[in-house]
A and B are shown apart, each in its own frame.
Chain A
Amino acid sequence: MLLEINGLTKYFGGLAAVRDFDMHLDDGELLGLIGPNGAGKTTIFNLITSIYKPTKGKIIFDGNDITSKKPHEIARLGIGRTFQLNPLFSDFTVLQNVSTSFHLHPKSSLPDIYFNTAKYRRNEAYILEQSQEILKMVGLDKVENELAKNLPHGYQKMLGIARALAVKPRLLILDEPIAGMNPSEIDFTLDAIKKMQQQKITILLVEHNMKILDLCERVVVIDFGQKIAEGLPKDVRENKEVIRAYFGGERVT
């Protein structure tokens, strides 16, 4: 088991955004976390990546308790993430966005960087090569010298994923990767996600768009911060509770 969440609870003031939430993720799995707007999906993400500290509960990644770690330490353990509102290093070029994100792999020591040693130069050359490879994989190699802020929305989202891949994640967390994309961009993103799946990267997806459900091997549905269903995508579609909470009583088509 790669990720295990036990009894996770987060209160914002008197409001429970997440309550007694349990979840696990196996190695190499693609898990979808879905739920209506405001159900607490992003809160769970921010709890896993330590942007928020939980009120109660434990998060265990690969045997390590990561509940009270700092965000950069989480990245160091191998959890990469994208963001829903997709902030970027907007004044950097596309290539710089990715190469900066290679901060950890390989990591150069401060003296190495400052004195521009052979080791640092070798690391940077390797990073440059790897960054270009990742950009090719997500289809951004043609715009690598553009400033990130000048990219169209769909490209920016892909850049977010490219950046998360630079962390060399064992677990990749994607927060609404296809939100706001046009149909062709959606197809492209879904292809990219499938490619990562083949590379055995464990992926946790948040989406409230049902299109992405078909990709997932397992789906966890939450509403009002609590798990209401879990299972295969097709079973979840049939689940009465899910239909009521999520689709206002109508059947999923």
Chain B
Amino acid sequence: MESRFSIKGRKELARPAVYVGLAVIVALLPLFFGSPYIHHMLILTFIYIIAAVSFRTIVISGQFPLAHAAFMGIGAYMAAMAAKWLGMSPWITIPLSALVTACIGMLIGYPFSRLRTLYYAMGSLFFGIGVIQIIYAGGSWTGGYSGLTGIPALLPATTSKIPYFYFFLGLALVSIIALYRIEFSRIGTNLKAIDQSHVVASSVGINEGGYRILAVGVGCFFVGLAGAGYAHYNMVLSCSSFNFMATLWLVMYVLIGGVNSFAGPIVGTIILIIVPEFFRDLKMFSPFVTAVILGIVVYLMPQGLVGLPQLIRSKLTEHRKVKKVNHAS
């Protein structure tokens, strides 16, 4: 699983080349698609990729938080309010509110680090609902039910969305690389060890509580970053973007993409944001369709969508072998 246990071969050098190639292709997309609407969908995809990948960072430590979208909301509202009411520059509010989100996450994570499984999920779920309630109750400060408008924009006003496209592409890449490095270092190994057996992990000296809080802090930092970026891009915020349903969508991105793989949430987010765009008339059915997709994916590809190439490869070799056998007889 981890490359540090094997000698670097051609295969391992080929991988980074593939990643760089993919990033370049994505960066060239605006050349082929001129419509601002497509740019908008791609920007949203980048933002939600950061949210989904950071969600998974918490999940690999054996915690299943159901407040991740609420933390995105904390980041978004924090940045929006700091910029709107205190006149701070978006370039400061974005990193600052990511940090504050991480701190809030760790403060909440401390008492929660004693909860497990369903208890943890329920505790975080109600915390998330509480956050939304507080934002509703914030009156003119947070915009309450009618939403917060007039948030300063990050980039100078133009009709084109291309500058934002590259900003969020960069933000997503930086976040992905940062989280990838955590997962494939001893930190990630320790988180996975805690997930597999927290009793054994502490018996070899891994500070379970500390690492769980660290995972929550890291996850909340990046989702706060995504939220804050979203606020200054969209310039309008509504609570419903960060409610329980939004968290459930993040869970779906991760599950359908494949929870056991780093690429899983990225693939899941892309598929679940882009594909429904082709079926916009059926939007009311999308939760139902998503549930069906989840069922099909889990049934056919226990690894999630990222397991698809492997599934095809094994089916093909099987097919070839069967052919060979038929030929021989």
Name A residues whose Cβ lies closer than 8 Å to a Cβ of B: 49, 51, 70-72, 75-76, 80-81, 83, 87-93, 95-96, 99-101, 103-104, 108, 110, 113-114, 116, 120, 124, 128, 163-164, 166-167
Q: Tell me the complex Cα distance, A120–B186, Å.
A: 10
Q: How far, in Å, is B134 (CB) from chain A's closest CB?
A: 32
B199 at the interface (CB under 8 A from A): yes
Question: What residue of chain B has the Cβ atom nearest to residue A71's Cβ?
Answer: B202
B199 engages A83 (CB within 8 Å): yes
A70 engages B202 (CB within 8 Å): yes
Quick one: which of A88, A100, A116, A164 has the most chain B CB within 10 A? A100
B173 at the interface (CB under 8 A from A): no
B206 engages A113 (CB within 8 Å): no
Q: Tell me the complex Cα distance, A113–B2, Å.
A: 14
- With beta carbons under 8 angstroms apart, the residue of A51, A90, A103 that contacts B205 is A103
B182 at the interface (CB under 8 A from A): yes
Q: How far, in Å, is B179 (CB) from chain A's closest CB?
A: 11
B140 at the interface (CB under 8 A from A): no
Known contacts A83-B203, A103-B205, A124-B186, then 6 further A-B pairs from the complex at CB < 8 Å, ordered by chain A residue = A72-B206, A87-B200, A88-B196, A88-B197, A92-B193, A114-B182
B22-44 with Cβ < 8 A to chain A: none
- With beta carbons under 8 angstroms apart, the residue of A72, A80, A81, A114 that contacts B208 is A72
B299 at the interface (CB under 8 A from A): no
Q: Tell me the complex Cα distance, A163–B202, Å.
A: 12
Q: Tell me the complex Cα distance, A154–B172, Å.
A: 47
B287-322 with Cβ < 8 A to chain A: none
Q: How far, in Å, is B302 (CB) from chain A's closest CB?
A: 14
Contact mask B181-210 → A, CB, 8 Å, 1/0?
110011101101100110111111111110
Name the interface size band of chain B: 20 to 34
A163 engages B197 (CB within 8 Å): no
Q: Tell me the complex Cα distance, A37–B61, Å.
A: 35
Closest 4 CB pairs of A and B: A75-B205, A71-B202, A101-B204, A104-B205
Q: Tell me the complex Cα distance, A217–B208, Å.
A: 36
Q: Give every chain A residue within 8 A of B196 (Cβ-Cβ).
A: 88-92
Question: What residue of chain A has the Cβ atom nearest to residue B184's Cβ?
Answer: A116
B5 at the interface (CB under 8 A from A): yes
- With beta carbons under 8 angstroms apart, the residue of A88, A114, A128, A166 that contacts B181 is A114
- With beta carbons under 8 angstroms apart, the residue of B182, B197, B207 that contacts A89 is B197
Q: Give every chain B residue within 8 A of A113 (Cβ-Cβ).
A: 185-187
Q: Tell me the complex Cα distance, A91–B206, Å.
A: 17
A72 engages B207 (CB within 8 Å): yes
Mostly, the B contact residues are: helix
B323 at the interface (CB under 8 A from A): no
26 interchain pairs, CB-CB under 8 A: A49-B203, A71-B208, A72-B207, A72-B208, A75-B205, A80-B203, A81-B203, A87-B197, A87-B199, A88-B196, A89-B192, A89-B193, A90-B196, A91-B192, A93-B1, A93-B5, A96-B2, A99-B5, A100-B190, A100-B193, A100-B206, A101-B204, A103-B204, A104-B205, A114-B185, A124-B4
B200 engages A75 (CB within 8 Å): no
B200 engages A89 (CB within 8 Å): yes
Question: What residue of chain A has the Cβ atom nearest to residue B182's Cβ?
Answer: A114
Q: Give every chain B residue within 8 A of A164 (Cβ-Cβ).
A: 203-204
Q: Tell me the complex Cα distance, A122–B305, Å.
A: 37
B205 engages A76 (CB within 8 Å): yes
Question: What residue of chain A has the Cβ atom nearest to residue B209's Cβ?
Answer: A70
A71 engages B190 (CB within 8 Å): no
Q: Give every chain A residue within 8 A of B187 (Cβ-Cβ).
A: 110, 113-114
Q: Give every chain A residue within 8 A of B2 (Cβ-Cβ).
A: 96
- With beta carbons under 8 angstroms apart, the residue of A70, A104, A128 that contacts B5 is A128
Q: Tell me the complex Cα distance, A90–B193, Å.
A: 9
Q: Give every chain A residue within 8 A of B214 (Cβ-Cβ).
A: 110
Q: How far, in Å, is A61 (CB) from chain B's closest CB?
A: 14
Q: Tell me the complex Cα distance, A51–B186, Å.
A: 25
Q: Tell me the complex Cα distance, A131–B205, Å.
A: 16
Q: Tell me the complex Cα distance, A166–B4, Å.
A: 19
Question: What residue of chain B has the Cβ atom nearest to residue A49's Cβ?
Answer: B203
Q: Tell me the complex Cα distance, A90–B197, Å.
A: 9
Q: How far, in Å, is B62 (CB) from chain A's closest CB?
A: 12
A51 and B208 contact, Cβ closer than 8 Å, known pairs A103-B190, A113-B185, A114-B187: no
Question: What residue of chain B has the Cβ atom nearest to residue A166's Cβ?
Answer: B204
Q: How far, in Å, is B13 (CB) from chain A's closest CB?
A: 17
Q: Give every chain B residue within 8 A of A166 (Cβ-Cβ).
A: 204
Q: Tell me the complex Cα distance, A104–B190, Å.
A: 12
Q: Give every chain A residue within 8 A of B193 (Cβ-Cβ).
A: 89, 92, 100
Q: Give every chain A residue within 8 A of B207 (Cβ-Cβ).
A: 70, 72
A100 and B203 contact, Cβ closer than 8 Å, known pairs A72-B208, A88-B197, A95-B5: no
Q: Give every chain B residue within 8 A of A116 (Cβ-Cβ).
A: 181, 185
B1-57 with Cβ < 8 A to chain A: 1-2, 4-5
- With beta carbons under 8 angstroms apart, the residue of B4, B5, B181, B203 that contacts A71 is B203
Q: Tell me the complex Cα distance, A87–B196, Å.
A: 9
Contact mask B205-236 → A, CB, 8 Å, 1/0?
11111000010000000000000000000000
Q: Tell me the complex Cα distance, A100–B193, Å.
A: 8
A88 engages B203 (CB within 8 Å): no
